Amino acid sequence: MLFRPHQAGAGSGGDDNDDEWKMPAVVVSGSGENQEFEGRITVYVIVCVIIAAFGGLMFGYDIGISGGVTSMDDFLKKFFPAVFEKKHHALENNYCKYDNQFLQLFTSCLYLAALIASFVASKVCSKYGRKLTMQIASIFFIIGVILTAGGINIEMIIFGRIFLGFGVGFANQAVPLFLSEIAPPNLRGALNISFQLFITIGILVSNLINYFTTNVHPHGWRISLGIAGVPALMLCLGSILICETPTSLIERHKVEEGRKVLGKIRGVENVDDEFDSIIHACEMAKQVKDPFRKLMKPVSRPQLVISICLQIFQQFTGINAIMFYAPVLFQTVGFGNDAALLSSVITGLVNVFSTVVSIYVVDRAGRRILLLEACVQMFISQVIIGIILFKELKTTGDNLSKGEAIFVVILVCTFVMGFAWSWGPLGWLIPSEIFPLETRSAGFAFAVSTNMLFTFIIGQAFLSMLCQMQAGIFFFFAAWVIIMGAFTWFLLPETKGVPVDAMVDKVWKQHWFWRSFMIEDDRPDVKVV
């Protein structure tokens, strides 16, 4: 069955995408930068996608696991006795029970390590390929799991988290690229968001595991941290089976092998058109000798500013305060350990289902409407949570009533829902579709590292901010939501259905603000030595 062309390497297809989602048969066609190619979704592609998915699962699992583990008494007694004492001290400040820099470091150091690793990973990825980068990621993951699950002192635990962070840095660089290069071109957008879906599934699985292991004494936390070994091993074994992507092979001058692999993954004899288009894309990309330099030119300003801002805003929605510390937060408002962990499972479920909604809606409704609607939803949820905590949760003394605490969980769910169908996936999708090919990889590296940096900041600061600002922390995040709403309204043009090669003419040159940056700079993009 033939489909209308769809833009390459990006997540949108505009009206064309209606076909994509109703696709009843296996034979599909896709496009390069606007031509059609024949191909099938082969079993081989499906296997590759499943294996790569373990990279996303691993990332999500690491995001979600730390909150539950850091709220377990056995873990606190062993590594953070001071926090354990504080937590059980009747007169202790409700908001400050978990305020401890080392406890936060347990969560946040992973992202700092990922930030550093992502610079190395981007080089390894282009020089040695996606497959090897994923293999290295899985080895880091396995070492990290062994050190954390087998931890006997805090140093070992922190080192383990750092190794996990290296794994995240390598996997986050290679897996999204691998997925979009292996997918038939007209399914790239869907697969791009699928990576986010795997992350949310990983978070949910970790919430569920914590819910069960919290009552396994004294080593429940070891089971929680150790189970991360399953996706890590699957990724390790699986990445031996998968092939390198045709684009990576061609980029590294293994042109004939690239053609063979393309034939194998598309399942048809004639892959000439797609092959030629990859060759053409690689040649174009090679002409830009220094993509980072090109990124600094005015013509790249809109893409760069938007990608960086989306990542900062994504983190300043406060989402990771919930993803990392939901069990701690729910205990703060008065739930017992089990109820707090169960509530985290519920928010995890909402996260997964709302991401599925996004996959369905994003190419129909467009990006702007989703982002703006979510700002309203997140703002209202945060302000009401802030008001309830401000009025009812005093620094010392009683917690919230059961009804109030349940209402807070519902509001956290509406907040997560808004995030998960907008800023979550779109924070990654938009940067992947607005850069032209020659600056896409470098631009995406900026997006990944900005994300890791701000994830680190939130991970390291949230519990202290909660202690200092108390209920005000929710008003703080709500204020950011207004800023990001204004940014979206004024500075983020709609990119739904715009082919990559028409982006400059159709989007940037038409925009009231960004058009002033569209001055051609004829100086060559060569390195000045």
Closest approach of ligand BGC to the CB of residue 81, in Å: 29
Residue whose CB is less far from ligand BGC, 3 or 325 = 325
User: In the bound complex, what is the minimum distance in angstroms from residue 275's beta carbon to ligand BGC?
Assistant: 33
Give the nearest distance from C-beta 192 to ligand BGC in angstroms: 12
32 or 424: CB nearest ligand BGC? 424
Angstrom CA distances, 51 to 45, 112, 187, 198, 312, stand at 10, 26, 17, 11, 30
Which of 33, 504, 9 minimizes the C-alpha distance to 298? 504
Nearest approach, Cβ of residue 204 and ligand BGC (Å): 9
Shortest Å, Cβ 277 to ligand BGC: 30
Region of residue 42 (left: phi > 0; alpha: psi -120 to 50; beta: else): beta
Three-state SS for 38?
strand
**Alpha carbon distance 184, 182 (integer Å):** 7
Interface residues with ligand BGC (CB under 6 A) are 63, 196, 199-200, 203, 314, 319-320, 323, 351, 424, 427, 451, 455
Q: Which pairs with CB-CB distance under 8 Å and at least 24 residues apart come from 159-163?
A: 160/225, 161/106, 161/107, 161/109, 161/110, 161/113, 162/109, 162/110, 162/113, 163/113
Q: How far apart are CA 217 and CA 197, in angstroms?
A: 32
Q: Collect all residues with Cβ–Cβ distance below 8 Å to 272 and sequence separation of at least 6.
A: none
Give the up-direction half-sphere exposure of residue 214: CA atoms within 13 A in the CB hemisphere: 23
Task: Return the number of the residue (203 or 225) whose C-beta is nearest ligand BGC.
Answer: 203
Residues 6+ positions from 111 with CB-CB distance below 8 Å: 165, 168, 452, 453, 455, 456, 459
Q: How far is the CB of 443 from ligand BGC (least distance, A)?
A: 17
Nearer to ligand BGC, 186 or 455 (CB): 455
> Nearest distance from residue 488's CB to ligand BGC, in Å?
16
Nearer to ligand BGC, 352 or 393 (CB): 352
27-31/36-40 β-pairing = antiparallel
Amino acid at 514: W
Closest by alpha carbon to 117, among 456, 482, 460? 456
What is the closest distance, in whole angstroms, from the C-beta atom of residue 455 to ligand BGC in the complex?
5
Nearer to ligand BGC by Cβ, of 168 and 250: the residue is: 168
The amino acid at 300: S
Please identify, using beta-carbon distances, which residue of 199 and 288 lies nearer to ligand BGC: 199
Nearer to ligand BGC, 5 or 202 (CB): 202
Query: Which residue, among 19, 44, 55, has the nearest Cα to 183 in the 3D structure?
Result: 44
Min CB(90)–ligand BGC separation in Å: 34
Of 114 and 288, nearer to ligand BGC (C-beta) is 114
